[in-house]
Amino acid sequence: MIEVRLFATFRIRREKILFLEAEKYATAGEIIDVLEIPREEVAILLINGRHSKADTAVHDGDVLALFPPVGGG
């Protein structure tokens, strides 16, 4: 399974955490698409805690975390 964690405005009308079958998705981008999040709205994409891009491959056991543009100090 791939654990998908959604944050900030991505949680609106969606669950905070989803578990998806790994075989169905080759890249992080495909998961973003199936969640109906426009790719350009994803400002921070983490796979297992590391910054990655939409075309990065995902594997069974990965944790994918998605954030819209956010910031602070």
Give residues in contact with other proteins (CB under 8 A): 5, 7-9, 11, 16, 43-44, 46, 48-51, 63, 65, 67-73
* Cβ atoms of residues 10 and 72 within 8 Å: no
Q: Which of 6/25 has CB closer to other proteins?
A: 6
Eight-class DSSP state of 14: S
CB of residue 59 to other proteins, shortest distance in Å: 15
- For residues 71 and 73, what is the distance between their CA atoms, to the nearest angstrom? 7
Q: Which of 24/41 has CB closer to other proteins?
A: 41
